[in-house]
Amino acid sequence: MPRVFDFNLEVHDRFATIASIRALKGTDTKLVEVTAESAEDAVAAEAAGIEMVVALPSAVRAVRQGSQRLFVTAAIDFVEEPPLTVDELLRASVTMMEHGADAVHTCRSPASIRKLVDEGVPVMGHVGFVPRQSSVIGGIRGVGKTAEEAALIWDQVRRLEDAGVFAVECELVAAPMMREITKRTSMATMSLGSGPDANILGLFTSDICGHGEHIPRHARVYADLNELYARINEEKARALSEFRNDVLAGTFPSAEESVAAEEIQVARFIEMLDKTI
């Protein structure tokens, strides 16, 4: 496992580095990436042997506290805020690196990305389906299913390549087109719903674990946390209800659940109180 200096010049082992991700090109080796929202998510990902995680800015500190071995990418513009200016984007990127991120992920233009790369920020770009631009393409759908649309995606890939991006996430791109793009770009490719022919394969942890209102068609569910959390909430409500009932019935707290004092000390205390009246 490679050992690296992080942005704060602290030494840590990492499952992956920028160099090892780039070295995936031309090999059959694949890395796996999932999302992480907490230290617990990071602990679980590391225990599962996952190499890479993506985290929102608000979660990067916690995720890094959960694991020093994961390669953490901060999704800097996937937040419910107005889009950042280029200068704000750079400041946010540096802050994320200070908080423990190894790289940042952004859907921004190659011109904006170049400013980050020029300042030494490793960037994962994004092509294919872009959630904030779903209205432009007519809704939530797969992209690159026609030669013309795939050619537009390929042009975006080449421009990101020229901007110095080390890897590119390809979201909901038609699998045969993804295969050809991966063969032709020097960047590592990450597939999110874009078929198996990429260097990195990823899914949302919530989809993998069956925790959410909607599971997309490209995801595979391996657990049913919705059902488990429903049972947990039922148990929580039952326990709270029983506690309240015991309080009202006078059965809580019992002597065993209260702090005792010797009778002689109680009598002395009462005597002291009486003298103060």
48-68 confidence digits (pLDDT tens): 999 999 999 999 999 999 999
> What's the average model confidence in pLDDT over 67-83?
83
**255 and 216 together in one domain:** no
| Count of Cβ atoms closer than 10 Å to residue 226 Cβ | 16
pLDDT of residue 82: 63
**166 and 45 together in one domain:** yes
pLDDT(80) > 70: no
For all residues of the chain together, what is the average pLDDT? 94
> What's the average model confidence in pLDDT over 185-212?
96
pLDDT of residue 83: 72
The pLDDT tens digits of the residues spanning 237-255 come to 999 999 999 999 999 999 9
From the candidates 10, 149, 171, 271, which is the catalytic residue? 171
* Cα 140 from Cα 133, distance rounded (Å): 9
Look up 171 and say whether it is catalytic: yes
pLDDT confidence band for 277 (50 / 70 / 90): low
- What CATH number is attached to the domain comprising 135? 3.20.20.60
> What's the average model confidence in pLDDT over 129-145?
85
**78 and 141 together in one domain:** yes
Give the number of domains in the chain: 2
Domain limits at 233?
228-276
pLDDT confidence band for 79 (50 / 70 / 90): low
